[in-house]
Amino acid sequence: MAALTPRVNPDDTVTLYEALVRHAGVRRPVTAANQRVACDTLIRDDGTLFAVLASHAAEALTVTPELDGSGELVDLDGGKATEGVTLGPFGIKVLRRAP
């Protein structure tokens, strides 16, 4: 879609998708308040949940990801992500759910 063309994904698109998610009653396992950070999850065969945060900003951003459900998010070295995660410009961060 529009992602193939530079500078054509306005913030209004994010607002529209967020409204559709709420209307459909979809619960997202990981979220970030900043609309310029996309969040998704991967679940390994052993049940370990990983959260992937991707920044769509040209500058560094610090966000506090929120986990829907039990446990907390930690970086892959075990440091807590509840105090904020800094993503570099267009950076990606992988976190893991700790029980």
67 CB-contact burial (10 Å; exposed 0-12 / middle 13-18 / buried 19+)? buried
Residue 40, in any domain of the structure: yes
Q: What is the pLDDT along the chain (99 residues), one digit of tens a residue?
A: 455 666 665 567 777 888 888 899 888 889 998 989 999 999 999 999 999 999 999 999 999 998 887 788 998 988 887 778 999 999 999 999 987
pTM: 0.79
Residue 17 lies in a domain: no
Domain encompassing residue 60 = 29-98
Q: What is the CATH number of the domain that holds 83?
A: 2.60.40.1180
